[in-house]
Amino acid sequence: MRIKKPVLPLLFALALVGACSGESRSLDVPPAESGLQQPENLSWWSRVAIDAYIRFSSWRKERSGYIVMFARDGVPIYSNAAGYKDIASGAPMTVDTHVRIASMTKPITAAVAMTLVEEGKLGLDDPVANYLPEFAQVKVATRHSRGADGEFPTRAPQQPMTIRHLLMFSSGVGPGMPALGEAPGESGELLQHWRDNSIYAQTVGGLRQRVAKLAELPLFEESGTRWRYGYSADVLAAVAEVVTGERIADLMRARIFAPLGMADTRYEPLPQDRAEMATIYTQDAEGELVVVPDRYDTDWNAGGGGLVSTATDYLRFALMLWNGGEYQGVRILQQSTIEAMREPHMPSGVLADAGIDGLGWGLGMAVVVDEEASMVPDRNGDFWWSGYYGTTFVVSPATGLVGIIYTQNEPGEFTGLPYQVYVLQGLAYAGL
């Protein structure tokens, strides 16, 4: 099987570590459906290597801890954890530790929206302005720097922004990210203008009010023309709230979490209710782990981030996606909807500014379109997404592999996936 060169030396080195057994922790996650045969596990050396890697990396304080979980052909086969949930107290990281999953919220928001599409309450080609009237007045920037008058030159859009554009992350909604190696200002004043007025920079209002403020900012480009990382999922969540009259948190709970048995997934709790959550760390100037100060706002819920979950919970969601929209006899989405979500509607340009190649975008998730160009060991048709604090899920239809990899580390400016994800995903693929 194909193993990419950056991972190859680690595969052999870690497989030789004999002190770790590679034995999986107990995992209370039912298979995608009843009656599935127990598949072959990851190879013994792959399990040993994963175990050795997460232990060694935690010991070196590259990360405070790890949770790793894999299923194959719909059946959970491997789970493990290493390091600490909280270093100061010595509390260990476990497979059911609660972590902030950040942008892994986005595929869940997309799934909620697609349930509304299936019910006929929302159309993929409906203009966003049908639900959020302020977007009828949105303008497109003709240049990403200010003119002599201090304003951004704009024009009227040539076509309306649609629900499909929000799901494709091609709405023109920012802020995007600076090109790899550039400071934010080097990518244009408009990017910084969006950051200064982002939904998180705003200090009052709920999701609906904060999204309304975004409509006052110039779009970066015409909707449907370019993939851009930004607040498309937050606008989508605001649409879902308008359509249903319910908060996005309640929609997720009723349509996704409760049916799938995701009992530990919810938005960021109040400070006094965070005892079960892993501490977030980052690296100081000397590379040492330091605690990230608590600065989380629980007065409103975003569509693009903010969820807290466990690896066991998110594995249920990922198995539902793998199984064509059904998990343990409960259908969340039709198989045709899942197929549409994993089709590369945006065939290129995804995370290109972060130096990542080979990716397209479906409806709410990244899709591998060129496995040879991709940095991560993967297969064409794999779909996945990650979170800011080092959390990732991947579904691989070609191999039957479904994976969850969690850490809790703030990376600073986004520069692509942490290499730890490359290594652990590579070890799993190599062990098939």
Residue 51, token pair as written in the block: 């175990």
d(CA 407, CA 281): 10
Q: Are 325 and 338 in contact (CB under 8 A)?
A: yes
Q: What is the pLDDT of residue 99?
A: 97
> In 381-418, which ranges are continuous DSSP H helix?
none
SS3 state of residue 294:
coil
Q: Which of 244, 270, 301 is the last residue of a domain?
A: 244
Does residue 1 sit within a domain? no
Q: Judge whether 61 lies within some domain.
A: yes
| Pairing assessment for the beta strands 99-102 and 326-327 based on DSSP bridges | unpaired
Instruction: Give the end of a domain, one of 217, 244, 271.
Output: 244
Q: How far apart are CA 344 and CA 186, in angstroms?
A: 30
What lies within 8 Å, CB to CB, of 295 at 6+ separation is none
User: Quick check: is 277 in a domain?
Assistant: yes
Encoding tokens for residue 128? 């966003």
The model's pLDDT over 175-233, given as tens digits with 9 standing for 90+, comes to 987 665 555 554 589 999 999 999 999 989 999 999 999 999 999 999 999 999 999 99
Same domain, 260 and 226: no
Structural tokens at position 327: 């998990």
On the CB side of 261, CA atoms within 13 Å amount to 18
Burial class (CB in 10 A: 0-12, 13-18, 19+), 432: middle
Percent of the chain with pLDDT over 90: 81
CATH number at residue 40: 3.40.710.10
**Residue 23, pLDDT score:** 55
Residue 307 lies in domain: 8-104+247-430
Same domain flag for 240 and 252:
no
* Residue 305 within any structural domain of the chain: yes
| Residue type at position 84 | Y
Give the model confidence (pLDDT) of 302-344 as tens digits.
999 999 999 999 999 999 999 999 999 999 999 999 999 999 9
In whole angstroms, what is the distance from residue 174 CA to residue 139 CA? Answer: 13
**CB-neighbour burial class of residue 238 (10 A; exposed 0-12, middle 13-18, buried 19+):** buried
Work out the mean pLDDT of the chain and round it to a whole number: 91
Are 260 and 394 in a shared domain? yes
Report if residue 136 sits inside a domain. yes
Same structural domain for residues 251 and 327? yes
Gap between the terminal Cα atoms of the chain: 9
As for how many domains the chain has, the answer is 2
Is 232 found in the same domain as 151?
yes
Together in a domain, 180 and 195: yes
Is 282 contained in some domain? yes
Decide if 2 is inside a domain.
no
Does residue 39 lie within any of the structural domains? Answer: yes
361 in the same domain as 223: no
- For residue 155, list its beta bridge partners: 140
Distance CA(207)–CA(346), nearest Å, equals 27
Question: Given a cut of 70, is residue 115 above it in pLDDT?
Answer: yes
Q: Which of 244, 264, 286 is the last residue of a domain?
A: 244
Rounded CA separation 177/180 (Å): 9
What is the rounded average pLDDT of the residues 3-18? 46
- On whether both 260 and 300 belong to a single domain, the answer is yes
Q: Do 91 and 152 fall into the same domain?
A: no
**Angle, nearest 10°, between helix axes 8-15 and 44-59?**
90
At residue 33, the 3 state secondary structure works out as: coil
Q: Are residues 235 and 274 in the same domain?
A: no
Phi, psi of 67 (to 5 degrees): -130, 130
Do residues 272 and 233 share a domain? no
pTM metric for this prediction: 0.93
Same domain, 20 and 88: yes
Give the integer Cα–Cα distance in Å for 349 and 356.
9
